[in-house]
Structure 1
Amino acid sequence: MGAALLLALAAGPAQALQSFADVQQEFRSSEASLYDRKGQLLQQVRMNPNERRLSWVALEDVSPALRNALVASEDRRFYQHSGVDWNAVAAAAWGNLWNTKTRGASTITMQLAGLLDDDLRRRTSPRSIGQKMSQVVVAQQLERNWRKDQILEAYLNLVSFRGELVGIHALSRVLFGKHPSGLSQREAAIAVALIRGPNATPARVAERACRILQEQRAAQECKGLEDFTLLALVRTGSNSEVIVTTSAPQLAPHLARKLLRTPGQAVRSTLDAGVQRFANDALRRQLAALVERNIEDGAILVLDNASGDVLAWVGSSGSFSNAANVDGVVALRQAGSTLKPFLYELAIEKKWMTAASILNDSAINLPTASGLYIPQNYDKQFKGLVSVRTALASSLNIPAVRTLVTVTPTTFFERLQGLGFQLRESGDYYGYSLALGSADVSLLALSNAYRALANQGRYSGVRTTLADPAVKMTKVMDSGAAFIIGDILSDRSARSRTFGLENALSTRVWSAVKTGTSKDMRDNWAIGYSDRYTVGVWVGNASGLPMWDVSGVTGAAPVWQEVMQYLHTRDQLRQQVPQKPAGVVERDIRYADKIEAPRQEYFLAGTEQSLITTASSDDISIAIRYPTPGMLVALDPDIPPQRQRIRFAADGLPSGAWRLDGKLLTPPAAKAGKKTSRQSAASDPQLAFDWMPWPGRHVLELLDHKMAVVDQVRFEVRGAVENHAQQKTGRARKNN
């Protein structure tokens, strides 16, 4: 009858018995782990707030001192019994009868049974008779189906120690800062003592550990043991909560938070541990050198041009920062001059200008909806007439704004969107300041857009894990124009008018690079590429505070140069100069007025010239003067609609016409073949036109003599024209 009852009580647990392989496979670390592309651990992130487990540890990777201490303390006849130590059970029963202390009768196998089955797990109260009987049966089942080494290995990985620590791996890392394989005899005794009394005081733990050492004939290790135990347990706080992290590397915290989601997750990233570590160190060295310049934050991104793989993702400067959790790779910051290459590429692609075209670096005032826009150069000086090559390489602001007048903010905005910037506002919102980088962009988007230049106009997203599919390239820029921009950005002589010949933008291999500094020196950028890699660097303050006299060439550029040269030195890559694509021709040029020295220049086929004259490259001025982009017109309800007009005005074009909302406009005076006093001094009578406004949003286009659009503005009219018309109609009906 008793045997039948025992079998009935044990039937459920026995049926649920797992294999060793199943237990090992279902084990989940509380940490998620990020590895580099070669399998090297980069970062661990705590995902389970209730307990701390680290990876499963094989028994052969556990210190022999710990295995010996555990068996000696918890289960001396572990290797002889078949799950239940009946000698220990009898001794415990005899001790209970005579009220004397004896060693516990629960074997390691029985304790493991309690760890594997929630119904058998001991919580606040002692196990019931039925639970103890089931525990015995499950222990015997384990012994029949598992090897002794598997039982010991599973126990060490599943047993709870102090507070939230589960498993010998977590205990060893947190309390002793080492792998379980390196535990000393003294450390092993403390670990085993914590199994019996996980929440005991350091003095009680040391006392228990000393008894374990004495039983192992190592009493000499008891000397200073209490202080040693106290020091180890200082790593846990009140209520036995662990207050320190493990000794796992912390190389890529920001990307880890982006990629890791569940406990036990292991992700093989595209990062290269060597590049990641070097980039981290390079950033911190530079910020340490600039500590007196009110700068504490930075970020670095390294991309493989061909694959789009992210090789380094440094989101912050770590200990230098008061906002170390802010990911500077994806944070939005003002772009500064880093958008200029895409503006000039678009102008060259459209064949509106060439690298040899002349732009006027002189004062300019542009009317906008919010007033006059008066851009200035970084040094508050003007260089006069300069070529596009010089204007871009030397990062002159006024020529860039004049170029955007030709390209138009809307067209430039659309190109930036095609390059993955995902700007929040429209081109009209930014206006002409978009040429100088008034938009907020991320280091990730900016670096990847430069990667498209490196790939001669072909764009794709990036990869952060090896499980991501291979990237697919899409052509978004003309390959020839992108090649010409790269050649300009690699030209030391062309950038010397602003930066001099010796600066942090030069590398031992071919590279193209552009710096940028936002308003009030709040952001520094250096973005550039070689034939193999694209490197982007941002430095500044996450708080938005300005730096003190730190520009892109002194702040971000030294880090960019150091990382770029490391990449090519490490890989022992030979210098590779981009090959000229089809459709690009090279010509010897000279300037008629000796504005710049003779040189060889690249052109898109069909735009090449040998003699560059000032007359053929007059100053580019705004085409549509009025209305201004984004202008809001409010009509006066007290003035009859017939007497309200908006004058369309433009200059800088020898002849042309207007088109409003897709409809061609022809002024009455032009039809009559004469001018009126209302027509302004534009070079063609049709370039001044008085229009009776109508409420709504409108698109006004200026057309050249070939009916091609040369400028476009959007504006809105609000008012009571419809009310006037309704009142007039109402009076007519009343009179009838």
Structure 2
Amino acid sequence: MKRQAATWVTALVCRLACATAGATVRAPVSASVAALVIGLALGTLPGSAHAAVPRYEQVRTAWLSSDVTILDRHGEPVQRVRRDYAARRGEWVALADVSPALREAIVLSEDKRFYAHSGVDWRGVAAAAWGNLWHTRTRGASTLTMQLAGLLDSDLQAIAGGRSLRQKIGQAIDATALERHWRKDQILEAYLNLVPFRGEMVGISALSHTLFGKYPSGLDAREAAVAAALLRGPNAGAARVAQRACAILKTMQEAQACGGLDGFVQLAFARPASTPALGTQLNLAPHLGRRLAQEAPPLTATVRSTLDARLQRIAQESLARHLQALTKRNVQDGAVVVLDNASGEVLAWVGSSGTLSGAAQVDHALALRQAGSTLKPFLYAQAIEERRLTAASLLDDTPVNLPTGGGLYVPQNYDRRYSGWVSTRTALGSSLNIPAVRTLVMVTPHRFHQRLRQLGLPLPESGDYYGYSLALGSADVPLGALTNAYRALANGGRYGPMHTMASTPGSTSVASPARPAGRTRPASAGAGSVASGNQVLDARAAWIVADILADRHARTRTFGLDSPLTTRFWSAVKTGTSKDMRDNWALGWSQRYTVGVWIGNTSGASMWDVSGIDGAAPIWHEVMSALHAQTPSHAPAMPAGIVRTAIHFGAAAPGAGPLEPARDEVFLAGTEQQAILPGTPAPPTARAAPSILAPADGTIVALDPDIPPRNQRVWLRATAVGGLSAQQGHALRWAIGGKPVGRGAEVGWLPWPGRHEITLSDAQGRVLARRQIEVRGATLRAP
């Protein structure tokens, strides 16, 4: 160690002698330089820790941007999300990507002999010592390499009052070591990326994008001079920075650029501090980007998503354009989700209308909104699967009053008109409300609620909480989950989760509108992920529902033949509108993709005269058409177990015409019929087990002591598809709390106070249905 110190002292004395040989005044060196020599001679330098400088590759690899960059499936950046709020750091910038003007300005301003010295500028040290002796202000002797050494070692970083003598010695030693192991270009590159400039900005990437709105490669002489001036006084005022920058420009022989420099600096400083590090061009997927950034591991700089940047732009622009046209109808917000049917990968996720929205930061694809008629396809699929209905079954579209725990439920059609007897195909295709409610009476809210939960819809309450209104979408669901539930219909009833993060780098397994048709994946690719999903719906029932929703003639009664729901390729689609026009939906699928659209208002305010046809449907049509601009979509093959039969309908009254035109209809094998007449029971194979029609689950009965008991009976009623035969009705058994109270399809029960469980059983004692009710009131008075 002493030998090394002696070598350092000898070298230092020689360099100092050479540097001061031309001096005309004989004087001792400054106290700092003398202390440096003494410190080296006595061995008080920081020691070997400073000699072990990191390699360039280590520094480069350890660099982490303060933002996470979200890439699309093809590697194109779509979003940057701030993760570290202690400092703003951009991506590492290679020296070749830094403008020559900036490199020149930095070297001329900070270290003119950068390419000549070996870490310590001894001529600068001598000049500083001489200036200190005569109390003359001089440029500091710290080189770019010494500054970099201070940035790399936290022990050498300056504190209040500047660096200590010990730190200065450590800087000199580390700088010499850096020069031995690093190239000059690596030193300059690392310095430009690590040096703090102003406020929270660290590195040239953050500075150039935040202050000048451009990449470091595009900085001109004036911008480079301002950047270099900030190194001397990062938090100096605009006038002082402009003065320093002008001096640097003169050194660069660019004095003409000094004109208007004060205003230029003030404008740069006025840019908002929240400006994204890579500009607004990387604000394509803000909502999904934030989620992916939160899910990414702590040291991850980039995340490859499943998004397709081009499709994301199409969906974003389509939503903004159509909502702009609807602003006079009090519509501000919307969202679009596009999924790949086979893999479940999210190809587009537009969570907001952006500047049109008063709550642009809200991800409306995750917000809970009333589902409206969008739940009807799942209801009819369940009824067909359970053989309660066929696509040709006739449903009564006339007013109905249903008893509930809170009174009577009186559903109405959207247009307040009624069609009488209609087939299941017409009821679903034209989105009629009354037939859907009658269908839910058969299925029961409890079982339908279970099915919706299996499809991934987050319904926190029980089925009986929603009651019969669940048929009309009284539950709140998010667009993302609802779109994925529709994907289950597209996949033959198989449900699987969505995916937003690419499993392998460079994954391009899904067809992109940006790629020619010849480069897209085969239709069968990716099917393995679907096959591993849960079979929630019967594949045959899902296919029949798809056939109905793709039938433009089935929706003629409500939507007409020519509407945005009709595409030039095969697709199935359903619209929905919630109560008071607060939410408007369009969801549908093709052979390859499922698209969901929601529009409305974050505040929950009602839209004005907006329906599915002129609200969400045009956006759905435009996005779906872009997906299939060069990609065909064919109807799915009919699965085994379905038969196609020619049918004809009877008349509602003598002398009247048939209820619907004759056609070929599809049936689950064993449920087919040829003649469909009003009131005709379903085929025996379609007859379902009886269930409790009344009272509704959760009913509260209040007894009145002034009314005779015989007038306060609670009527227990059973129902089944196609009605109950006399034999079937007689076989039914009713019990309250396990005690028999009667037989038959309808039984009057004299209630008594308390909580009771009603059970309906068949002749063999098998429980068919249960209901929970509560009876309140004082003891009845004697008549």
Q: TM-score with structure 1 length normalisation?
A: 0.90
Q: 2:255 aligns with which of 219, 225, 232?
A: 219
- CA 1:73/1:6 → structure 2, altered by over 3 Å: closer, same or farther? farther
The 8 Å contact of residues 704 and 778 in structure 2, kept in 1 or not, is answered as yes
- Structure 1 window deviating more from structure 2 (219-228 vs 86-95): it is 219-228
Matches within 5 A, 1:517-528: 517-528=577-588
Q: 1:564 aligns with which of 624, 631, 636?
A: 624
2:119 aligned with 1:61: no
Deviation sequence 1:481-511 (CA, Å, 0-9, x none): 0000001001111101001111110111100
The letter for the 1-side match of 2:644 is E
Deviation sequence 1:466-494 (CA, Å, 0-9, x none): 13995631100000000000010011111
Q: 1:167 aligns with which of 189, 197, 203?
A: 203
- Name the structure 2 match of 1:629: 697
Matches of 2:161 and 2:710, distance apart in 1: 93
Task: Give the secondary-structure state (helix, strand or coil) at the position aligned to 2:638.
Answer: coil
The 8 Å contact of residues 304 and 533 in structure 1, kept in 2 or not, is answered as yes
Matches of 1:559 and 1:65, distance apart in 2: 48
Q: 2:107 aligns with which of 60, 63, 71?
A: 71
Matches of 1:3 and 1:97, distance apart in 2: 20
Deviation sequence 1:71-124 (CA, Å, 0-9, x none): 111111111111000000001111111122222210000000111111111133
- Name the structure 1 match of 2:514: none
Q: 1:688 aligns with which of 732, 741, 747?
A: 747
Task: Give the secondary-structure state (helix, strand or coil) at the position aligned to 2:555.
Answer: helix
User: Following TM superposition, by how much is the alpha carbon of 1:13 offset from its aligned partner in structure 2, in angstroms?
Assistant: 3.5
The 8 Å contact of residues 51 and 174 in structure 2, kept in 1 or not, is answered as no
User: Following TM superposition, by how much is the alpha carbon of 1:424 offset from its aligned partner in structure 2, in angstroms?
Assistant: 1.2
Q: 1:381 aligns with which of 417, 426, 429?
A: 417
User: Following TM superposition, by how much is the alpha carbon of 1:661 offset from its aligned partner in structure 2, in angstroms?
Assistant: 7.3
Task: Give the secondary-structure state (helix, strand or coil) at the position aligned to 2:580.
Answer: helix
- Name the structure 1 match of 2:511: none
Matches within 5 A, 1:63-462: 63-235=99-271, 242-246=273-277, 247-248=279-280, 249-261=282-294, 262=298, 265-462=301-498
- Name the structure 1 match of 2:11: none
- Name the structure 2 match of 1:724: none
- CA 1:707/1:494 → structure 2, altered by over 3 Å: closer, same or farther? farther
Identity of aligned residues (%): 56
- Name the structure 2 match of 1:729: none
The 8 Å contact of residues 357 and 617 in structure 1, kept in 2 or not, is answered as no
The letter for the 2-side match of 1:507 is T
User: Following TM superposition, by how much is the alpha carbon of 1:6 offset from its aligned partner in structure 2, in angstroms?
Assistant: 6.5
Matches of 2:662 and 2:553, distance apart in 1: 13
Deviation sequence 1:172-223 (CA, Å, 0-9, x none): 1011111001111111111111111111221211111111111122222222
Matches of 1:520 and 1:36, distance apart in 2: 38
- Name the structure 1 match of 2:665: 601
- CA 1:76/1:455 → structure 2, altered by over 3 Å: closer, same or farther? same
Task: Give the secondary-structure state (helix, strand or coil) at the position aligned to 1:92.
Answer: helix
Matches of 1:623 and 1:467, distance apart in 2: 47
Q: 1:553 aligns with which of 613, 620, 636?
A: 613
Task: Give the secondary-structure state (helix, strand or coil) at the position aligned to 1:122.
Answer: coil
Task: Give the secondary-structure state (helix, strand or coil) at the position aligned to 1:434.
Answer: helix
2:86 aligned with 1:28: no
Task: Give the secondary-structure state (helix, strand or coil) at the position aligned to 2:599.
Answer: strand
The letter for the 2-side match of 1:451 is R
- CA 1:581/1:34 → structure 2, altered by over 3 Å: closer, same or farther? same
Q: Show structure 1 runs of 5+ residues with no match.
A: 237-241, 671-684, 722-736
- CA 1:662/1:561 → structure 2, altered by over 3 Å: closer, same or farther? farther
The 8 Å contact of residues 634 and 717 in structure 1, kept in 2 or not, is answered as yes
2:675 aligned with 1:611: yes
The letter for the 1-side match of 2:485 is A
Considering only aligned residues, what root-mean-square deviation do their CA atoms show, in Å?
2.8
Matches of 2:113 and 2:529, distance apart in 1: 57
Task: Give the secondary-structure state (helix, strand or coil) at the position aligned to 2:467.
Answer: helix
- Name the structure 1 match of 2:759: 700
Matches of 2:644 and 2:764, distance apart in 1: 30
Deviation sequence 1:390-412 (CA, Å, 0-9, x none): 00000000000011111111111
- CA 1:243/1:413 → structure 2, altered by over 3 Å: closer, same or farther? closer
Task: Give the secondary-structure state (helix, strand or coil) at the position aligned to 1:416.
Answer: helix
Task: Give the secondary-structure state (helix, strand or coil) at the position aligned to 1:493.
Answer: coil
Matches of 1:445 and 1:305, distance apart in 2: 14
- Name the structure 2 match of 1:574: 632
Task: Give the secondary-structure state (helix, strand or coil) at the position aligned to 2:117.
Answer: coil
Task: Give the secondary-structure state (helix, strand or coil) at the position aligned to 1:281.
Answer: helix
The 8 Å contact of residues 524 and 555 in structure 1, kept in 2 or not, is answered as yes
The letter for the 2-side match of 1:485 is V
2:724 aligned with 1:653: yes
Matches of 2:490 and 2:149, distance apart in 1: 61
The 8 Å contact of residues 757 and 770 in structure 2, kept in 1 or not, is answered as no
The 8 Å contact of residues 759 and 767 in structure 2, kept in 1 or not, is answered as no
Q: 1:588 aligns with which of 646, 649, 672?
A: 646
Matches of 1:451 and 1:7, distance apart in 2: 74
The 8 Å contact of residues 30 and 264 in structure 1, kept in 2 or not, is answered as no
The 8 Å contact of residues 493 and 536 in structure 2, kept in 1 or not, is answered as yes
Matches of 1:297 and 1:6, distance apart in 2: 73
Deviation sequence 1:319-372 (CA, Å, 0-9, x none): 000011111111000000000000000000001110000001001111111111
The 8 Å contact of residues 69 and 81 in structure 2, kept in 1 or not, is answered as yes
The 8 Å contact of residues 695 and 716 in structure 2, kept in 1 or not, is answered as yes
Matches of 1:645 and 1:36, distance apart in 2: 66
The 8 Å contact of residues 47 and 263 in structure 1, kept in 2 or not, is answered as no
- CA 1:8/1:623 → structure 2, altered by over 3 Å: closer, same or farther? same
- Structure 1 window deviating more from structure 2 (80-89 vs 629-638): it is 629-638
Matches of 1:373 and 1:596, distance apart in 2: 29
The 8 Å contact of residues 37 and 271 in structure 1, kept in 2 or not, is answered as yes
User: Following TM superposition, by how much is the alpha carbon of 1:4 offset from its aligned partner in structure 2, in angstroms?
Assistant: 5.5
User: Following TM superposition, by how much is the alpha carbon of 1:574 offset from its aligned partner in structure 2, in angstroms?
Assistant: 1.8
Q: How many residues align?
A: 698
Matches of 1:256 and 1:196, distance apart in 2: 37
User: Following TM superposition, by how much is the alpha carbon of 1:233 offset from its aligned partner in structure 2, in angstroms?
Assistant: 2.1
Matches of 1:197 and 1:269, distance apart in 2: 41
Matches of 2:761 and 2:408, distance apart in 1: 21
